[in-house]
């Protein structure tokens, strides 16, 4: 147990009166905070460590206020300011992004149930911004009270220094600075008396008991309404289809108008400016984490950000006479391969199947042959227990059951390593197809769960298309079971 885990175990005991039975480090995020799941007779909680005291204070103060206002955010159970740690209620492990990845069996498909969850998130966003925003103590904000001109210039220069320079995109420094100033002049005309969440995107929305809950708002401050909506809809790897974005934008405006009068024409004019600044800020983050810190998976999001910029240009949503900035953007979107270091476009599609060994192996329709077949029958079987028999590996009770089993995690780690080796080689050699199948006795629990986990892993780590099919479920839905 490391020193942070020991400190969190001590805080857990002080809070609950029970010793911690286990303190397990959770998967990393894009931040410098570290998270631990703590279990014991006092219940299961999430422990957080963050050396940035001001950020901790902002998060805790906002959380107390949001819970008072009835917003779905975690509860802060205990904190130790000196050690920079605190305990939160456990909202599980499933983010909106992970659920989207699991449900999205083909890349251009956006499931109806996911659209419904996005709409629920948008309903809460309006409450965060307008109603709860009136009660926030903005003196707690870090690093600034408002998303003002200075904040915008920070984001734009972040893009300039950590993306343009590191990716070696040529630009005229003075002309670009002038365009940055002009863009900020336009956007600072918007009212800023609302709560700006700052990082409102699918990885910061937990799905708990089927409903959206919200985390990671410690960067919140005063700001314009458009920014958070743009953050959600231009979220790079969520890759929301553009018609769905239009539907969600209209839904947001309808919900906003229920509690706040809005000039739609003005809102939309400046919405795309805020979308632009958000996309450029995200590119700065991808460059910093990917090029500077050598965390290659951040580079996987760059093509999606370029796609967002291409759409804005082609639909004439941005321009505003910003000639130098548009020249830079046009270079990136017309010659993307020049500015994505070590990342050639991949044309690989990974087809992932679950199946029952009571039937034949899934057929390879690609004509290439090869691939992997993994036998999941050695794993613990939820189907042996009555309470799981009507569920599949996509349903939360089965997910929770299998996640608790160390054997399942070890099995999947081996699978990921083997498949990753082929994905990398196939991508480098320009191959078009890889097939991976998971079989179990009934084709309902273990194989479905493993297929979904592999799809999530590949979506997060590689720029490849994935197609997921659950063969036994298809048989049943077609009446051939």
User: Residues 58, 33: contact at Cβ < 8 Å?
Assistant: no
Backbone angles phi, psi at 193, to 5 degrees: -90, 15
User: What is the distance of C-alpha 337 from the center of its chain?
Assistant: 24
Q: How many CB atoms lie within 10 A of CB 27?
A: 6
Say if 3-89 and 96-338 have the same CATH topology: no
Is beta strand 45-49 parallel, antiparallel or unpaired with respect to 85-89? antiparallel
- The CA distance from 287 to 164, in Å, is 8
Burial of 108 (0-12, 13-18, 19+ CB in 10 A): exposed
Paired tokens of 60:
């805790």
Sheet of 465-470: strands edge to edge? 372-375, 433-440, 349-356, 465-470
Among residues 149, 142, 156, 131, the alpha carbon closest in space to that of 221 is found at 142
- The CA distance from 378 to 440, in Å, is 9
Q: What are the angstrom distances between the C-alpha of 315 and each of 183, 274, 310?
A: 18, 16, 8
How many Å is the Cα radius of gyration of the chain? Answer: 23
Among residues 281, 55, 275, 316, the alpha carbon closest in space to that of 187 is found at 275
Who contacts 404 (Cβ-Cβ below 8 Å, separation ≥6)? Answer: none
Indicate the CATH number for domain 96-338: 3.90.1200.10
- The CA distance from 59 to 86, in Å, is 11
Among residues 468, 469, 465, 460, the alpha carbon closest in space to that of 432 is found at 465
Global pTM? 0.74
Burial of 296 (0-12, 13-18, 19+ CB in 10 A): middle
- The CA distance from 9 to 27, in Å, is 18
> Longest C-alpha distance within the chain, in Å?
69
Segments making up each domain of the chain, as ranges: 3-89, 96-338, 349-477
Indicate the CATH number for domain 3-89: 3.30.200.20
- The CA distance from 89 to 358, in Å, is 42
Give helix 264-287 / helix 302-314 axis angle, nearest 10°: 150
Paired tokens of 177:
């600075």
> Taking the alpha carbons of 129, 131, 132, 133 in that order, is the dihedral positive or negative?
positive
Q: What is the pLDDT along the chain (481 residues), one digit of tens a residue?
A: 789 999 999 999 999 999 999 999 987 655 679 999 999 999 999 999 999 999 999 999 999 999 999 999 999 999 999 999 999 999 999 999 989 988 876 555 788 999 999 999 999 999 999 999 899 999 999 999 999 999 999 999 999 999 999 999 999 999 999 999 999 999 999 999 999 999 999 999 999 999 999 999 999 999 999 999 999 999 988 999 999 999 999 999 999 999 999 999 999 989 999 999 999 999 999 999 888 887 777 887 898 999 999 999 999 999 878 999 999 999 999 888 777 755 444 568 899 999 999 988 998 877 777 899 999 999 999 999 999 989 999 999 999 999 999 999 999 999 999 999 999 888 777 787 899 999 999 999 999 999 999 999 988 888 788 889 999 988 876 655 5
Backbone angles phi, psi at 234, to 5 degrees: -100, 10
């Amino acid at each position: 147990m490391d020193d942070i885990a020991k400190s969190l175990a001590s805080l857990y005991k002080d809070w609950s009166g029970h010793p911690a039975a286990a303190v397990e480090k959770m998967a990393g995020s894009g931040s410098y905070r570290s998270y631990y799941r703590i279990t014991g007779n006092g219940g299961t909680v999430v422990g957080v460590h963050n050396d940035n005291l001001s950020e901790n204070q902002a998060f805790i103060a906002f959380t107390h206020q949001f819970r008072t206002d009835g917003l779905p955010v975690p509860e802060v159970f205990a904190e130790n300011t000196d050690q920079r740690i605190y305990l939160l209620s456990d909202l599980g492990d499933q983010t909106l992004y992970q659920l989207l990845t699991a449900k999205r069996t083909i890349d251009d498909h956006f499931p109806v149930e996911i659209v419904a969850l996005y709409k629920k998130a948008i309903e809460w966003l309006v409450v965060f911004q307008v109603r709860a925003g009136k009660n926030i103590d903005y003196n707690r904000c870090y690093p600034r009270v408002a998303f003002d001109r200075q904040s915008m210039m920070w984001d734009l220069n972040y893009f300039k220094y950590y993306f343009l320079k590191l990716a070696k995109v040529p630009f005229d420094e003075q002309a670009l600075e002038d365009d940055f100033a002009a863009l900020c002049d336009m956007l600072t005309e918007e009212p800023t008396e609302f709560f700006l969440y700052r990082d409102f995107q699918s990885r910061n929305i937990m799905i708990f008991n089927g409903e959206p809950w919200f985390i990671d708002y410690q960067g919140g401050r005063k700001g314009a309404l458009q920014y958070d909506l743009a953050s959600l809809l231009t979220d790079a790897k969520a890759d929301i289809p553009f018609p769905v974005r239009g539907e969600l934008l209209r839904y947001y405006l309808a919900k906003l108008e229920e509690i706040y009068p809005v000039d739609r024409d003005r809102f939309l004019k400046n919405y795309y400016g805020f979308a632009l600044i958000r996309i450029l800020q995200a590119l700065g983050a991808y460059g910093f984490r990917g090029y500077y810190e050598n965390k290659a998976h951040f580079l996987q999001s760059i093509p999606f950000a370029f796609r967002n910029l291409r759409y804005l240009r082609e639909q004439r949503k941005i321009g505003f006479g910003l000639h130098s900035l548009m020249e830079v953007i046009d270079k990136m979107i017309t010659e993307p391969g020049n500015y994505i270091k070590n990342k050639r476009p991949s044309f690989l599609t990974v087809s992932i199947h679950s199946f029952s060994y009571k039937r034949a192996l899934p057929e390879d329709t690609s004509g290439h042959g090869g691939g992997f077949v993994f036998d999941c029958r050695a794993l613990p079987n939820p189907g042996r227990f009555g309470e799981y028999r009507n569920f599949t590996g996509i349903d939360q009770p089965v997910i929770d059951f299998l996640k608790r089993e160390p054997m399942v995690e070890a099995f999947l780690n081996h699978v990921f390593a083997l498949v990753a080796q082929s994905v990398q080689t196939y991508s480098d050699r320009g191959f078009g197809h890889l097939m991976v199948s998971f079989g179990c006795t009934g084709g309902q629990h273990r194989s479905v769960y493993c297929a979904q986990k592999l799809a999530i892993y590949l979506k997060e780590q590689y720029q490849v298309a994935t197609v997921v099919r659950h063969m036994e479920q298809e048989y049943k839905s077609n009446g051939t079971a």
